[in-house]
């Protein structure tokens, strides 16, 4: 069908009940592109209709070099979604009636460059996927207003966003090359024996506590690496840069309040993803297996082996297969660490501000007052080196309140007015001068890690006989009859990632990956393998417009926070 046919249909249903819009579902050959109307909303107040605009690649004009690798393709698609969003703001009037009438929106993302379904590029076509609120007066179709949207505004948006000749070629190349440089460096951190890299000149502070945009103006302090950790690397596109390389092992970030300790950790936490040019953190890169850990009072825990940290609880409570409906700060932080290790994390990021004090440290005065046989908690200070020695797990820890850690860390960085200084030798000298040192607790080994296999019947997306998986905001997922609280999973950055997590969990259940024999990380890996082969659309029943790929760690975190989750433990000496 062509534009004339769509215009005729919209004219015919003008003034009819809103459900008449379903007659326009299908594909239409418009000048220069094909418009697909995949799903039509049933009500002007319901979720918007889903549409796609596809331009054949010979017309779109994108050279294959722009999407010749997975990273370049991801960055190009990210850029096109942002270009489509800018074009919407230039050409779409909106406000065409009741509810969402006149709305056109695309999932364009924020400061991070993520793999999304909002745009697709391949050798055959370039495609944008977007949402549209079909116009209504009350619950009656405004067919002529819809014709103006679909046949006038959408073509203008497509011409501005999906044709190479209409785009800023230098800006597009810079976007792709920035992502390529970041991913190239991230992939080489391990062979460089680093866990993270912060480039000189980076801008780490954000505009405000509720904004992820970079701080601007006279208050900006650009990052300068200390000489002891300064490295030079040569990136594929940007060439030679210098910056601070944080080595494997245990690194303590100290300093006074408001001097940038948590700001540095926040940048490292988000350094597992690529950032857009101009963000200030586009050359702050952390290893992909870095996970932020915190205390999380009240969360549910299901058969997690927290015995390396907590044992000999009153009333004989089992901590090798520990379960609770309402975890304390210390038990939740212990569970969060063990679950992250189970999922494959090999770098742990922690901030004392979001940690349970009794989990992190027990000083010599408290040891003298409460003997070890009366204290079930082995604090992290006594396991941090065991973790590194036995499982090659590194830790970056922000700590401004306890110098006891000076005795167990490999490097100490002091933040002073947002600038780092190496103070390792000074910290060791101070530690060596103390008279009443604390006693080490917990032994010389961390102990075995235990895998768990989820049971399918405990992961149920159905509600009222229908699948119900819905992301309300980044931190909350409706999954069947449950609301999964992900608000404290701090590396979950986008509501589209939350949406994808819910659909990935449902997909894994349908595929039979939660069979009581397959360990949780292996079940998740199977889903990611299918996505790698077939694309993120594999988890959807129709082409998605609002999914962004999460990491396996955040999928595991969501499964672990299902209050219905049941697992069987698989005892192994190592993962």
Closest CA to 480 of 498, 495, 465: 465
CA distance 306 to 477: 26
Write down the number of H helices and E strands in the chain.
15, 31
Closest CA to 502 of 554, 458, 466, 455: 554
The CB density around residue 391, as the number of other CB atoms within 10 Å, is 15
Q: Nearest 5°: phi and psi at 548?
A: -130, 140
CB 53 within 8 A of CB 127: yes
**DSSP per residue over 55-81, as a string?**
EEHHHH---GGGGSSHHHHHHHHHHHH
pLDDT averaged over 10-residue windows placed end to end, the chain, 575 residues = 92 95 96 97 93 98 98 98 98 91 96 98 98 95 96 98 98 98 98 98 94 91 97 98 98 95 98 98 98 98 97 89 96 98 98 97 92 93 97 97 94 97 96 85 90 97 93 93 97 97 97 96 98 95 92 98 96 48
456, burial (CB in 10 Å: exposed 0-12, middle 13-18, buried 19+): middle
Strands 250-255, 411-416: pairing is parallel
Contacts of 417 (CB under 8 A, 6+ apart): 221, 259, 260
CA distance 481 to 461: 7
CB 97 within 8 A of CB 137: yes
pLDDT at 529: 98
**How close are the terminal C-alpha atoms of the chain, in Å?**
56
Structure tokens at 564: 């219905």
- Reduced to 3 states (helix: H, G, I; strand: E, B; else coil), residue 236 is coil
Angle (CA) 195-199-203 rounded to 5° is: 115
CB 54 within 8 A of CB 125: yes
Cα torsion 210, 213, 217, 222: sign: positive
The CB density around residue 148, as the number of other CB atoms within 10 Å, is 17
Domain positions in the chain = 3-167, 181-289+346-447, 451-571
pLDDT at 572: 56
- pTM of this prediction? 0.95
Closest CA to 289 of 474, 4, 556: 556
The H-assigned helical ranges of 113-205 are 143-148, 154-161, 169-188
């Amino acid at each position: 069908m062509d534009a004339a046919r769509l215009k005729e249909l919209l004219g015919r249903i003008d003034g009819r009940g809103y459900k008449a819009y379903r007659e326009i579902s299908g594909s239409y050959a418009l000048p220069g592109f094909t418009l697909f109307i995949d799903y039509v909303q049933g009500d002007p107040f319901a979720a918007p209709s889903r549409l796609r605009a596809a331009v054949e690649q010979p017309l779109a004009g994108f050279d294959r070099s722009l999407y010749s690798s997975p990273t370049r393709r991801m960055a190009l698609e990210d850029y096109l979604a942002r270009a489509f969003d800018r074009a919407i703001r230039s050409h779409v009037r909106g406000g065409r009636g009741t509810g969402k009438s006149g709305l056109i929106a695309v999932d364009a993302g924020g400061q991070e460059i993520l793999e999304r379904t909002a745009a697709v590029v391949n050798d055959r076509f370039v495609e944008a996927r977007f949402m549209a609120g079909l116009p209504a007066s009350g619950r009656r179709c405004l067919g002529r207003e819809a014709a103006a949207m679909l046949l006038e505004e959408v073509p203008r948006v497509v011409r501005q966003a999906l044709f190479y000749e209409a785009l800023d070629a230098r800006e597009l190349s810079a976007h792709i090359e920035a992502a390529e440089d970041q991913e190239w460096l991230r992939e080489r951190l391990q062979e460089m024996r680093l866990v993270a890299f912060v480039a000189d000149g980076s801008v780490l502070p954000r505009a405000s506590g509720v904004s992820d945009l970079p701080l601007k103006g006279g208050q900006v302090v650009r990052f300068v690496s200390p000489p002891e950790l300064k490295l030079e690397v040569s990136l594929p596109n940007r060439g030679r840069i210098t910056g601070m390389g944080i080595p494997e092992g245990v690194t303590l970030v100290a300093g006074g309040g408001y001097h940038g300790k948590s700001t540095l950790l926040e940048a490292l936490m988000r350094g597992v993803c690529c950032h857009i040019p101009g963000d200030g953190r586009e050359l702050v890169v952390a290893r992909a297996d870095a996970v932020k850990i915190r205390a999380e009072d009240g969360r549910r825990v299901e058969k997690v082996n927290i015995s390396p940290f907590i044992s000999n609880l009153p009333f004989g409570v089992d901590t090798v297969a520990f379960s609770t409906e309402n975890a304390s700060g210390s038990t939740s932080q212990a569970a969060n660490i063990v679950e992250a290790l189970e999922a494959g994390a090999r770098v742990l990021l922690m901030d004392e501000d979001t940690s349970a004090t009794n989990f992190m440290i027990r000083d010599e005065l408290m040891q003298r007052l409460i003997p070890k046989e009366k204290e079930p908690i082995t604090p992290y200070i006594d396991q941090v080196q065991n973790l590194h020695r036995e499982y090659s797990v590194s830790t970056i820890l922000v700590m401004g309140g306890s110098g006891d850690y000076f005795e167990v860390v490999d490097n100490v960085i002091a933040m002073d007015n947002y600038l780092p200084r190496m103070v390792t030798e000074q910290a060791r000298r101070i530690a060596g001068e103390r008279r009443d040192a604390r006693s080490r607790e917990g032994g010389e080994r961390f102990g075995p890690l235990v895998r768990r296999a989820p049971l399918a019947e405990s992961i149920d997306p159905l509600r009222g006989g229908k699948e119900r998986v819905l992301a309300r905001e980044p931190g909350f997922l409706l999954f069947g009859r449950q609301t999964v609280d992900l608000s404290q999973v701090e590396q979950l950055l986008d509501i589209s990632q939350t949406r994808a997590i819910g659909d990935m969990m449902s997909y894994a259940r349908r595929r039979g990956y939660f069979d009581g024999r397959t360990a949780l990380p292996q079940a998740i890996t199977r889903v990611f393998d299918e996505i790698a082969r077939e694309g993120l659309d594999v988890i959807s029943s129709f082409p998605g417009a609002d999914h962004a790929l999460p990491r396996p760690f955040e999928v595991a975190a969501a499964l672990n926070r299902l209050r219905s989750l049941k697992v069987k433990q698989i005892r192994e000496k190592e993962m």
